[in-house]
A and B are shown apart, each in its own frame.
Chain A
Amino acid sequence: MRVLMFGWEFPPHNSGGLGTACFGLTRALANRQIDVLFVLPKKVGVSASFMNILFADTRKVKFHEIESNLKPYVTSDGYVRERDKMISDIYGNTLLQEVRRYALRAREIAKKEHFDVIHAHDWLSFLAGVEAKKVSGKPLVLHVHATEFDRTGGQGVNQDVYDIEKMAMEYADGIIAVSNFTKEKIIKHYGISPGKIEVVHNGIDECDYADIPDRLSELKKNGQKIVLFAGRITIQKGPEYFIRAAKRVLEHNPNVLFLVAGSGDMERQMMLEAAHLGISSNVMFVGFLRGDDLSAVYRAADLFVMPSVSEPFGITPLESIIAGAPVLISKQSGVAEVLTHALKTDFWDTDDMANKILGVVSHRSLWQTLWSNSREEVKKVTWDASSKKCIDYYAKLICDCGVPPEVRVI
């Protein structure tokens, strides 16, 4: 089986979960003897030598780069602001034009290459997938890692982006949602029939997280506990709820340090909020971290908190558990569907959040039970399991497409 895959970012030049997910899935597919032709904008910069590091057998994965004037969509400034900036008058419709240009190039590639199924990740590559299907007649799978409603927290949904998402979802043969949470959104906001959506949860490969450095032990010498937020400081990630919960915690236990790792358009606002609440000395903004730096912070933390308002999946809690910190996650997240050994809360319930944070920092037995059980659980959440579900889904769609169009049932 050969897959023509369209993406927009890839490690090491990613700054969001999308690149991590594309890489994890592609590697797992290759390990299951699936050929993947991965098409990316040129600026992503996938070099041959780096591919040899990423993939054991590069014969299984080929990359095709498309010239692009734009850098990938996410920078350390956070997705929403960046995208809005691009779409705003300053750039005109450059991003949308770029997405369309990418689609036209995809058309050319699809004419030349041989493949059995098309797989496109998120709206930036959806049009490319659609064009590839038009010229090839092969089944198209859209992989929804986030919808416009997640990215904007439901406020200020961009109509052009929504239209592309909806049109592509209707045209595609099948849709992969990263969670039931996302599947429900696709049904509710895009009017897609539930039978056309397959849920494939993301995974994590432990081998990518070996030898995590222990750098922050100094911070904990006086018995101080560390509670971590790591992610873009944007409305989607719920940073303000983290700050409010911190205030409640500190009223009861002043010996807790709250670390905020990340950057984004709400960073300044959050610093001011912490100052306003009088807790600045216990809230540290450490900026955008990646790789070993991020892992070191996870390892130092006693608890990782993900208070997202809307999180289609959320790989960071899995990374945190592997690195050594148990997690408190919002119920409004896809990862809550695969983690039973996690504390869960409604993002808006900062009292409940504070109660659970205090539970973990006060009782070593809770920390120990929670972390050791979640550590075992995460071992089962692998990209290999995700790739197997994808392959089964490809097979089903290829089979369905073999039937004459008039009797096809989707």
Chain B
Amino acid sequence: MASICFYFQVHQPFRVKDYRVFDVGRDSEYFNDDSDRSINNKKILHKVAGKCYLPANAVLLELLNKYPEFKISFSFSGVFLEQLEMFSPETLESFQKLVATGRAEVLEETYYHSLSFLYSPEEFRRQVAMHRAKVQELFGVTPTVFRNTELIYNNALAHEVEKMGYKGIIAEGADHVLGWRSPNFLYRPQGTENIKLLLKNYRLSDDIAFRFSSKDWADFPLTAPKFAQWASQVNGNGQVINLFMDYETFGEHQWEDTGIFNFLRHLPEEIYKHPDNDFITPSEAIERYEPIAELDVHNYMSWADVERDLSAWLSNAMQHDAIQSVYSMEDDVLATDDVRLIDDWRRLQTSDHFYYMCTKWFNDGDVHKYFNPYNTPYEAFIAYMNALQDMKLRIHNYRAPENTSPKEIPVRHLSA
């Protein structure tokens, strides 16, 4: 028996606009670009909703109605859900309909899709709690399985998440961690008691997410019968096939004309042709199967790039500078008790900001460039650091309320 476990990541960051040094002290709206550029959050959300969320949700609802045993799971970032409420309530509603079937599980993550676990465990716990509250509010369910931002994972995270009461956690099935072992079983994170670990089958996942429309690929074109055949080969050699991917795979990364929606529409019927196969959610997998072994993951791994490490967010000096700067403000920001200020600070923790500053692939102009709304990683950094500079001024204003002259404070602060 091999069960297909689908988990779709659904996330959109609040991108920082072209925020210039001259805006510091004058404009504290960092995320409200209204140009035609891809840093216009509203425009992007509408575009992706039209190309991916709405049509893909329609296909999934059709499948859930047609096959009573069909199951899926989602992880929504809090900042994504917030943007749905702001810009596209009808898309939120279509997700709510899927969850209401009882066969679309919602996973837990940090509200701000942040790297907070690496820099501030307290902030990490606060953001998980915020996410939990948001999911309960919008979907009426309480997640029991955790997935960290970009599948960043190590032993310490599993410990922490177990302490927080989750029964499962999700990670990448990276070769350098698994070695000869298979991602198609559950594992026990090293040193934990109860929590179980589900690992992404990246080969089969990436066949859909990355290679689906690649004409250079020997197995092109990928059809539902072919994929179902590969999945059933796991029978006898695994229990669960974890297909984890960005939800934007459907219609946004792989456009509709590649046939991706038809592939999705026909996959269940092909999977069911092999009587040993079915679909399962992460929490069901955890109920049904016991860990096959303990897995020791000392260093951080993630699902990004061939390296499967932290280098997409933390490899050059700019990225380290930016992330250390934002977390160094934690005590001062929280001390203000200013809801807007704290929210802005947390939005600036979203991992995408640091991803946009990555230069390791910039020479090759490859697929990653597609995901960068800024002309260069350097522009992303400049806008981000200018916004942080404005944050510092806002904090400063709390500290010294008598200095309220709006012209004086910026100048003195900048030259300090």
Pick from A340, A344, A354, A366: contact of B318, CB below 8 A.
A366
Number of A-B contacts (CB under 8 A): 77
Interface string of B347-363 (1 = CB under 8 A from A): 00000000000010011
**Residue A253, interface by CB 8 Å:** yes
Contact A363 B20 (CB under 8 A): no
> Among residues 339 to 380 in chain A, which have CB atoms less than 8 Å away from a CB atom of chain B?
340-344, 351-352, 354-356, 358-359, 362-366, 368-370, 373, 376-377
**Residue A252, interface by CB 8 Å:** yes
Cα distance, A365 to B415, chains bound together (Å): 19
> Among residues 11 to 64 in chain A, which have CB atoms less than 8 Å away from a CB atom of chain B?
none
**Residue A92, interface by CB 8 Å:** no
A341 with B362, Cβ < 8 A, contacts A359-B21, A363-B381, A365-B318 known: yes
Cα distance, A92 to B375, chains bound together (Å): 49
Contact B382 A359 (CB under 8 A): yes
Contact A365 B376 (CB under 8 A): no
Contact B317 A365 (CB under 8 A): yes
Contact B22 A359 (CB under 8 A): no
Interface string of B383-409 (1 = CB under 8 A from A): 001100000000000000000000000
**Residue B321, interface by CB 8 Å:** yes
Q: B369: shortest Cβ distance to chain A, in Å?
A: 9
A351 with B376, Cβ < 8 A, contacts A365-B317, A365-B321, A368-B317 known: no
Q: Which residues of chain A come closer than 8 Å to B381, judged between CB atoms?
A: 359, 363, 365-366, 369
The residue of chain A having its C-beta at the shortest distance from the C-beta of B359 within the complex is A373
Q: A64: shortest Cβ distance to chain B, in Å?
A: 42
A351 with B321, Cβ < 8 A, contacts A340-B376, A359-B382, A369-B378 known: no
**Residue A254, interface by CB 8 Å:** yes
Contact A370 B363 (CB under 8 A): no
The residue of chain B having its C-beta at the shortest distance from the C-beta of A255 within the complex is B415
A253 with B318, Cβ < 8 A, contacts A340-B362, A340-B363 known: no
Cα distance, A356 to B365, chains bound together (Å): 22
A373 with B21, Cβ < 8 A, contacts A344-B376, A359-B378, A366-B378 known: no
> Among residues 58 to 81 in chain A, which have CB atoms less than 8 Å away from a CB atom of chain B?
none
- Range for the number of chain B residues in contact with chain A: 20 to 34
Q: Which residues of chain A come closer than 8 Å to B382, judged between CB atoms?
A: 355-356, 359, 366
Contact A363 B415 (CB under 8 A): no
Cα distance, A254 to B359, chains bound together (Å): 31
Contact B362 A354 (CB under 8 A): no
Q: Which residues of chain B come closer than 8 Å to A248, judged between CB atoms?
A: 22
Contact B20 A351 (CB under 8 A): yes
Contact A369 B385 (CB under 8 A): no
The residue of chain B having its C-beta at the shortest distance from the C-beta of A355 within the complex is B20
Q: Which residues of chain A come closer than 8 Å to B218, judged between CB atoms?
A: none
A351 with B320, Cβ < 8 A, contacts A340-B362, A359-B378, A370-B378 known: no
> Can you list 8 A-B pairs, Cβ within 8 angstroms, ordered by A?
A253-B414, A340-B365, A343-B378, A354-B22, A356-B382, A358-B21, A365-B318, A366-B317
Interface residues of A (CB under 8 A from B): 248, 252-254, 340-344, 351-352, 354-356, 358-359, 362-366, 368-370, 373, 376-377
Given contacts A354-B22, A365-B322, A366-B317, 6 further A-B contacts (CB under 8 A): A253-B415, A356-B378, A359-B378, A365-B318, A366-B381, A376-B363
